[in-house]
Amino acid sequence: MTQTQHPLSDNQVIEQHTDSESKRASSISQKCFRTIETTYSNNIDSDYTEKIAALSRNFRYADNQEHFWTLPAQSLLYGTPLYAEASRTQKLVLNHLGWAASYIKTANTECTALDYNPVTADVLELMGGYDTLAKEIQMETEQEVVHIRAFRKIGLTTMVSLIDRSSLDELAKWRPQRTLATTFQLNMAKKLAIKLTDRNQASHYAEKIKKKQRNSRVFKSPMGGLLENAMGSFTPLHSLYGFGCGSGSLFMACQFYTLRMMANLKLKDIEHPIAKYAKQLENNHKFVPAPTAISRYHFLDEAFHTTISKLLGKDLYQEFEGPNLYENLIANFVIYMMQRSSFGSVSAVIPDSSSRDGLDNFALVYYLLRSPIFEFSHLNAKQWMRRCFCEEHDGFHQSVKNRTRLLKSLKIFSSEVSYLWPINRDMTVMGKLGSINTALKQNIRTFDRFFKELEQFKQSQ
């Protein structure tokens, strides 16, 4: 005889749902804590950061100049008509500058972690129960300092060795400048935060941010690299995103690592081939250039950071109170902007870049072509730049190939982040952008602007 099944009462449904949620949260916690403990232990036992510091400290360009530092396909101007006609010596230089250009931008991106890692650690310490995670994040901050110093030292030493000092001084003019949020902008941003934030929500406001607000009338944006490129002129949102005007919630403490994970995936796409190249040289008992070795050790160091980024950005935030309207808006807006700018185009001259060629890229190529490496006249340099930036070539197609691979990795990660808008979860904007035709139109406009501003700059000297 079949037993009659009575429908569950409302209380039983609620209890069943609550029990299910409790088991899920418990499962997440166990998984998270195992990952945190293992990552922290392995990171302590590693010596990759120390090796990076030693290689950087002893770096001399002359000791490494006769060797490729990365695969040829990661060289500056790879696939362009100029690269096809370059001598071996010139191709070595382009390879070294490709490494330098990528890692100076990486250093700028990692600067963001120096500001936000301590904030997240502060928030977690105030909550309690996450001491090991806070220690791991603090260790990562110390490691990032070593990484940044190494990348900047080798990158700038390489450029000084290849491009004369006066040209480098001029090159600095074309670098993107950070901006300040005015007091008025920040006050308006705070009003927006208050209006969209539930005042009854528990706050875990980081002390470091409180002190920073008390001691400064304005926030200087700490963003760099991918995030600075993404946010552009939306400076107030830097402060909004950085807990400065919001609740300082546990959700926001985790959400930064959604962005950091995207940066980690971008860097992994660049470094994995270099790490394999370094290992191959080592196995064949061949000379491993210091920058190549640094890339490999950084790849291994960043594996710990990537694990923590994934943990916080995909799993751990689910244990805390979900985002309020304000936090959801900021969290999604910054990823939308990253799709449009940092991941929104292809470069004609830097194959592993997924953003458009700005004035700084034009300036780097111009001063390189005028340097003793190529010894072009102003007119010849301009003609070659037109061919490299404003005409279709294999370098564009290499950039598209790299960007397509990155898009696939980003979509796998973002598809598992529950609070994202569909346009961010599916990386829809990045998928629609990035065509060679669009990049060519952008470069033609930037080409005209660069040489117009260069002429004005020369006249003012």
181-196 per-residue burial string, b: 16 or more CB within 10 A, e: under 16: beeebbeebbebbeee
Band (pLDDT 50/70/90 cuts) for residue 74 is: very high
Q: Using CA atoms, how far apart are residues 298 and 288, in angstroms rounded to an integer?
A: 15
Choose between 329 and 389: higher pLDDT. Answer: 389
**152 domain residue, yes or no:** yes
The predicted structure's pLDDT at residue 250: 79
**365 domain residue, yes or no:** yes
The predicted structure's pLDDT at residue 299: 98
Q: Which of 77-86, 136-145, 313-322 has the lowest mean pLDDT?
A: 313-322
Q: Give residue-wise pLDDT tens across range 172-194.
A: 788 765 555 555 655 666 666 66
Q: How many folded domains does the chain comprise?
A: 1
Q: What is the mean pLDDT of residues 129-154?
A: 95
Choose between 164 and 132: higher pLDDT. Answer: 132
Residue with tokens 């500056």: 76
The predicted structure's pLDDT at residue 21: 44
Band (pLDDT 50/70/90 cuts) for residue 219 is: very low
pLDDT at 305 over 70: yes
**12 domain residue, yes or no:** no
The predicted structure's pLDDT at residue 187: 64
DSSP letters spanning 222-249: ---HHHHHHHTT-HHHHHHHTTSSS---
The predicted structure's pLDDT at residue 442: 97
Q: Using CA atoms, how far apart are residues 216 and 232, in angstroms rounded to an integer?
A: 22
Choose between 89 and 8: higher pLDDT. Answer: 89
Q: Which of 236-250, 385-399, 444-458 has the lowest mean pLDDT?
A: 236-250
**20 domain residue, yes or no:** no
What is residue 163's DSSP assignment?
S
**291 domain residue, yes or no:** yes
pLDDT at 240 over 70: no
The predicted structure's pLDDT at residue 10: 46
Tell which residue, 348, 349, 357, 370, has the closest CA to residue 170. Answer: 370
Q: Give residue-wise pLDDT tens across range 374-384.
A: 999 999 999 99
The predicted structure's pLDDT at residue 420: 96
Q: Using CA atoms, how far apart are residues 238 and 253, in angstroms rounded to an integer?
A: 14
Q: What is the mean pLDDT of residues 342-371?
A: 95
Q: SS3 of 461, please?
A: coil
The predicted structure's pLDDT at residue 115: 75
Judge contact between 48 and 297, C-beta under 8 A: yes
Cα 108 to chain centroid distance, Å, stands at: 8
The predicted structure's pLDDT at residue 375: 96
pLDDT at 266 over 60: yes
Band (pLDDT 50/70/90 cuts) for residue 227 is: low
Could you count the other beta carbons within 10 Å of the beta carbon of residue 239?
25
Average pLDDT of the chain, as a whole number: 84
Q: Give residue-wise pLDDT tens across range 51-69.
A: 999 999 999 999 999 999 9
Residues of the chain above pLDDT 70, percent: 78
* Single-letter amino acid code for the residue at 202: A
pLDDT at 196 over 50: yes
The predicted structure's pLDDT at residue 123: 79
Q: Give residue-wise pLDDT tens across range 96-127.
A: 999 999 999 899 889 888 877 887 888 788 77
Band (pLDDT 50/70/90 cuts) for residue 151 is: very high
**17 domain residue, yes or no:** no
The predicted structure's pLDDT at residue 348: 98
Choose between 226 and 246: higher pLDDT. Answer: 226
The pTM (predicted TM-score) of the whole model is 0.87
**5 domain residue, yes or no:** no
Q: What is the mean pLDDT of residues 422-441?
A: 97
Q: What is the mean pLDDT of residues 205-219?
A: 51
Choose between 94 and 326: higher pLDDT. Answer: 94
Judge contact between 346 and 385, C-beta under 8 A: no
The predicted structure's pLDDT at residue 149: 96
Q: What is the mean pLDDT of residues 414-442?
A: 97
Compute the half-sphere exposure of residue 364: CA atoms within 13 Å on the CB side of its CA: 27
Domain range for 95 is 30-460
The predicted structure's pLDDT at residue 152: 94
**4 domain residue, yes or no:** no
The predicted structure's pLDDT at residue 213: 54
